[in-house]
Amino acid sequence: DIPGVGKKYFLQFSTKDLQTGQKLGLCLASVFYLKTKPKPTVEIICTRNKDPDQRQREDYSLYLSIRDSVEPSLDDLWALGTVGSSYIAWEKATVDSSYIMTQIKNVKQWRRADESLEFDYSILLSSGVSESLSCHMRLIWKLGLPMKVKYECSAEDESSGFGDGSGAEQGSTSGFFIEPESNFLVG
């Protein structure tokens, strides 16, 4: 606790493969919640994770599995939804609460003229306490580029929120991208 400034946490955690559950590596992070900013400042260093070539091969396999299927598997849709919802969970997290995707209520795939995958998800994010957020999330993912995420969430005791995904890692589903225009409406 830094009086008048905020709270800083130091974390050590392991990462695991989303689909296989295999442990991948170890991460050290500092998370700094300033009283003047809604989102924390996060610095993460990870070791022994997948090498970029292996991650790219797995992204390609997931991408082809979804793109080439008439009806993608629930595991693939869950994996893609988890990646997109992790940005929303981070956006909505506070020093006192965090969120994870606990349910996919509905998912719809959009056909596109380009090679991108586009999905609308209706999901439920839950916190460690009793609060849940119902979110509409649109994902657009083109292999080799960061995922684009737009969302709108609401809770029983909260008005709707809006956000755009952001991130910097190229060529993996673990990255996000901010679109220049924010005009996402649930219809």
| Alpha-carbon span 141 to 119, nearest angstrom | 9
What pLDDT score was predicted for residue 129?
72
Asked whether the predicted pLDDT for residue 29 surpasses 80, the reply is: yes
* Contact between residue 136 and residue 125 where contact means Cβ atoms under 8 Å apart: no
Is the pLDDT score of 184 beyond 50?
A: no
Q: Residues with Cβ < 8 Å from 17, sequence gap 6 or more?
A: 24, 50
For the CA atoms of 74, 76, 79, 83, what is the dihedral angle to 10 degrees?
A: -120
pLDDT score for 162: 45
What are the residue ranges spanned by the domains of the chain? 1-49, 66-177
What the block records as the tokens of 126 is 């839950």
- What CA–CA distances, in Å, run from 117 to 9, 50, 141, 156, 178? 37, 24, 5, 31, 17
Least confident interval from 80-84, 92-96, 113-117, 164-168:
164-168
152 pLDDT band, cuts 50/70/90, is very high
Contact 30, 9 (CB under 8 A): yes
Which CATH architecture describes the domain 66-177?
Roll (3.10)
The pLDDT tens digits of the residues spanning 106-148 come to 999 998 999 999 999 999 999 877 788 999 999 999 988 889 9
Cβ burial, residue 106 (10 Å; 0-12/13-18/19+): exposed
* Per-residue pLDDT, 125: 94
| Residue-averaged pLDDT of the chain | 80
Can you spell out the DSSP letters for 146-186? PEEEEEEEEETTEEEEEEE-----TTSTT-EE--S------
- Given a cut of 50, whether residue 171 has pLDDT beyond it is no
Q: Higher model confidence: residue 151 or residue 156?
A: 151
Q: Using alpha carbons, select from 65, 95, 89 the residue that is nearest to residue 149.
A: 89
